[in-house]
A and B are shown apart, each in its own frame.
Chain A
Amino acid sequence: MNAVTKRKTTNLVMELGRRWALIFLLIELVFFSLFAQGFMSLRVFQMIFFFGITVFLLGTAELFVIITGGIDLSVGYVMGFASIISAKMISAFIQAGMQHLPALILGIVLTLIIGLLPGLINGLLISRLRVPPFIATFSMLGITHGVAELLILDGAAKNMPHLANLIGNGYFLYWAPGPGLSLFIRPEIPRGGFILELIPNIVILAFIVIGILAYVLKRTVFGQHTYAIGGNVDAAIRSGINVGRHKVKIYMLSSFLASLSGVIYVLMYVTGKGDAGASSLLDAIAAVVIGGASLYGGKGTVWRTILGALIIAVLETGLRVMGIPTFDKYIIVGVILISAVLIDKVFPEKTYTDNKE
């Protein structure tokens, strides 16, 4: 073999190695299609996205924080906190005689605004008082957890509108033989009749937000600063970036995304739950790391984080379709998490960031 072809093969191996997450996802899909009866269906694929939303959103939140070299342990409980306050507010508004739709919208908007607060406090603690992110966000985890549980001491929210359920569990597109195509509104069909349901509403909502953030991270000054801070804080300060202020924004964004997934949780289940996102923290951080980000900061993209989250979501759904208890999921995610770091060391990125560490 001459030198040129040899270099070509190593280049190819490197390219494939860098895309190991995508290859792994494909292997997963092939494996489950072969061994899980009924995996290859439109319904299951929509379910993967539908139930993956929490990890998509929390993973994206965690990505921004991790790129700056921080960590946010509070996202899971901020999500639960947001789900409870939005459910409480919506039901209170309806109690007060508001129409369902305005009550729903007002409740959601207010929740998203209140949801900025934990992030603001985190950010201020981290940038102004120099509290390590691990400690500040763990404190916030405790505080949001406690407040959420106190709020539902008198029971869960009652009189939730059916509308929430229609939005949360509805689809963008319906098609049935008789009425034909319809958007958002499920046509009346005879029991047991055929109906095609395409793309859940909340998946669209989540991916609009994620798409915007992918753009923000990749193409805007905000995104450039985020990478700059994670790559080299000193250089970022010297080049005139207000690092403290930027970090506050990052933690607020993280907290906002967590509240958004809390709101979506309410739309899906029509109730709030304090520990709604508690078990998703591991998955969210794992998704970011599998997606090639480094905990030392400066690396990572939104789409690769979504890829990481999809690996976990497909795994979970596939195991469930096969009827294997999800205990195995924890083991496999743990192994993939560690392997991800090792594989990324073997196939480093081409950019300047591999000179770091």
Chain B
Amino acid sequence: MTHTISETLQGNRKLAFIARNWAAFFLLGFLILFSFTGKGFLSITNFQNVGHLAVIAILMASAETFVIITSGIDLSVGFVMGFASVTAGKIIQVLYAAGEGLSPGISIGIGIVIVLILSLIPGLVSGVLIARYKVPPFIATMGMWGITNGIALKICKGFPVATLPDALTRIGNGYLIYFKPGEGLSFFGLPPGVGNESIREYIRLIPNSFIFVALVLLVLWHLLRNTTFGQHTYAIGGNEEAAVRAGIDVKRHLIKIYVLSSFIAGLAGIFNIFQTGIGNFTPFGAMYELFAVAAVVIGGASLMGGKGRIFGSVIGVFLIAFLENGLLISGVVPFYRFIAVGLLLIIAVVIDQLFPDLL
């Protein structure tokens, strides 16, 4: 039965295209459905909000994409993010000293640089453990999950790091274009002389976060699709033995992959601090890493490795994000989202099983 479906599809390129991009079509279906059921769903403001809130999930999922293509898994991304956010918060808090220390720009800059360097360490450790000492990725990154979570909680003593410069949220929640009909537009802020209270009269377009995440995604997409690094990543996941024989330094490459994943999680932590204005540790129930894996699998990757696309993972994230948002706006109790994501995941894998050879 399965076989025949698969064979029929091989012959039919249109159907094959739909089966391969089922997540995108599902997303489209959801968007249309929720436009009818949810009042205010179909609006620029709502779409921008969904996108803005999905940025962290997008970063996590793209980090996980690289790891999963090599047939590994990185359970530490969520807590590396919390570690990065808390550490950046602490550094900025100390340097800025509530306005009495360095200027906001310099303290934020120093905080970001130090934290991005620090965020390489968890990935380096788990990468070395996995590549050189053959610790299963699940265990190595689960260990890093505990360690980074503990360190983050120790740094912030269990409370979010507050009293940071306002500039953070001004940038993080700002927009590229502010526009009021008849008065022209201004970039990156309200026109001079306009108070914050009249912000609702302006149409705000393209959140700064979109520009940030688009740049990151462009780099990662290019890295995975057009470079030797990307080719090697697929090669290792497809067949590790063959990759070794082909002369790829698999161990070194795996370490790079986990460092990259951890670095992207660090970026997510930085973004988190810009978005909320405080350094947040990751709560236990957040399960960022599991939702990231879910998005990557929905996006067409296989946990067996060798398969996966950045574009697919982003679609996976949006599928989950719009599903949650649409259900919420349509007045459905929020807890259905857990059930919905669970069902989506099963659908994703079953479709993947039915049409194994399409990619």
- A residues with a Cβ closer than 8 A to B are 71, 73, 125, 129-132, 134-136, 138-143, 145-147, 149-150, 153, 275, 278-279, 282, 285-286, 289, 294-296, 325, 327-335, 337-338, 341-342, 345, 357
Q: Is the CB of B142 within 8 A of A279?
A: no
Q: Which of A134, A146, A149, A333 contacts B342 (CB 8 A)?
A: A146
Does chain A have a CB within 8 A of B350?
Answer: yes
CA of A278 to CA of B287 in the docked complex: distance in angstroms? 10
Q: Tell me how far the C-beta of A274 lies from the nearest C-beta in chain B, rounded to whole angstroms.
A: 9
Interface residues of B in 285-310 (CB under 8 A from A): 285, 290, 293-294, 297, 303-304
Cβ of B153 < 8 Å from any Cβ of A? yes
Chain B residues contacting A332 (CB-CB under 8 Å) are: 150
The answer to whether A337 and B285 touch across the interface, beta carbons within 8 angstroms, is no
B147/A139 in contact, CB under 8 A: no
Known A-B contacts A330-B147, A331-B147; A142 and B338 likewise in contact (beta carbons under 8 Å): yes
In contact, A135 and B345 (Cβ under 8 angstroms): yes
List 17 A–B pairs whose Cβ atoms lie within 8 Å, in order of A's numbering. A129-B349, A135-B293, A138-B294, A139-B342, A139-B343, A142-B338, A142-B339, A146-B340, A147-B339, A278-B284, A289-B139, A332-B150, A334-B149, A337-B143, A337-B146, A338-B135, A345-B134
B59 at interface by CB-CB < 8 Å? no
Q: Max chain B CB contacts within 10 Å: which of A138, A142, A279, A289?
A: A142
Taking A146-B335, A330-B146, A334-B147 as contacts, is the C-beta distance between A73 and B290 under 8 angstroms?
yes
Distance in Å: Cβ of A332 to nearest Cβ of chain B: 8
Apart from A335-B146, A335-B147, A345-B133, what 16 extra A-B contacts exist at CB < 8 Å?
Answer: A131-B346, A136-B349, A138-B290, A138-B293, A141-B290, A142-B341, A146-B340, A147-B339, A282-B142, A285-B142, A286-B142, A327-B154, A327-B158, A337-B139, A341-B133, A341-B139
Q: Which residue of A lies closest to B349 (CB)?
A: A131
Q: Are A275 and B285 in contact (CB under 8 A)?
A: yes
Instruction: Find A295's partner among B129, B138, B157 (CB 8 Å cutoff).
Output: B138
B337 CB-CB contact with A under 8 Å: yes
In the complex, which residues 52-110 of chain B have their Cβ closer than 8 Å to any Cβ of chain A? 73
- Report the interface size for chain B: residues with CB under 8 A from the other chain: 46
| A331 and B151 contact, Cβ closer than 8 Å, known pairs A145-B338, A279-B284 | yes
| Contacting residues, chain B, for A327 (C-beta < 8 A) | 150, 153-154, 158
Which residues in A have their C-beta under 8 angstroms from that of B138? Answer: 71, 295
Main secondary structure, interface of A, reads helix
Q: Which residues of B contact A338 (CB under 8 A)?
A: 129, 135, 139-140, 143
Task: Label chain B's interface by main secondary structure.
Answer: helix
Bound-state CA distance A285–B138 (Å) is 10
Q: Which residue of B lies closest to A296 (CB)?
A: B136
Tell whether B1 is near chain A: CB-to-CB under 8 Å.
no
Given contacts A327-B153, A330-B149, contact A295 B349 (CB under 8 A): no
- For A282, what are the chain B residues with a Cβ–Cβ distance below 8 Å? 142, 145-146
Determine the chain A residues whose CB is within 8 A of the CB of B140 once the complex forms.
Answer: 338, 341
Most interface-central of A136, A139, A150, A285 (chain B CB within 10 A): A139
Give the 9 A-B residue pairs with the shortest CB-CB distance, closest first.
Answer: A334-B146, A142-B342, A331-B150, A330-B150, A146-B338, A146-B339, A139-B342, A334-B147, A338-B143
B255–chain A nearest beta-carbon distance, Å: 15
Chain B residues positioned under 8 Å from A139 (CB to CB): 341-343, 345-346
A141: chain B residues at CB < 8 Å are 290, 342
Whether A143 contacts B284 in the complex (CB less than 8 A), given A73-B290, A296-B136, A327-B150, comes out as: no
Cross-chain contact A135 with B303 (CB below 8 angstroms): yes
Given contacts A146-B337, A146-B339, is CB(A129)–CB(B350) below 8 Å? yes
Contact indicator B333/A153 (Cβ below 8 Å): yes
- Does B353 lie at the interface of the complex (its beta carbon under 8 Å from any beta carbon of A)? yes
CB neighbours of B343 from chain A (8 A): 139, 143
B144 at the interface (CB under 8 A from A): yes
- B338 contacts A334, CB within 8 Å? no
A147 to B136, CA, bound (A): 33
- Residues of chain A lying within 8 A (CB to CB) of residue B333: 150, 153
How far is it, in angstroms, between the C-alpha of A329 and the C-alpha of B335 when the chains are bound? 31
Tell me which residues across on chain B come within 8 A of A329, comparing CB atoms. 150
List the A residue with the shortest CB-CB distance to B356: A130
B284's closest neighbor in chain A, by CB? A279
Chain B neighbourhood of A71, CB < 8 A? 138
Q: Does residue B336 face the partner (Cβ distance < 8 Å to A)?
A: yes
Is A132 a contact partner of B129 (Cβ separation < 8 A)?
no
Residues of A within 8 A of B350 (CB): 129, 131
Minimum C-beta distance from B83 to chain A (A):
11
Q: Which of B135, B293, B304, B335 contacts A149 (CB 8 A)?
A: B335
Provide the residues of chain A in CB contact with B142, threshold 8 Å.
Answer: 282, 285-286, 334, 337
Tell me which residues across on chain A come within 8 A of B157, comparing CB atoms: 325
| Complex CA distance for A282 and B139, rounded to whole angstroms | 10
* CB nearest to A334 among chain B residues: B146
**B126, closest chain A residue (CB):** A338
Cβ of A318 to closest chain B Cβ, rounded Å: 16
Q: How far does the alpha carbon of A135 sit from the alpha carbon of B295 in the complex, in Å?
A: 11
Give Cα distance in the complex from A331 to B134, angstroms. Answer: 21
Within 8 A of A (CB), among B152-179: 153-154, 157-158
A145–B291 Cα gap in the complex (Å)? 14
Cβ < 8 Å to A, chain B residues 9-32 = none
A150 contact set on B, CB distance < 8 A: 333, 335-336
Chain B residues within an 8 Å CB radius of A289: 139
Is A334's CB under 8 angstroms from B143's CB? Answer: yes
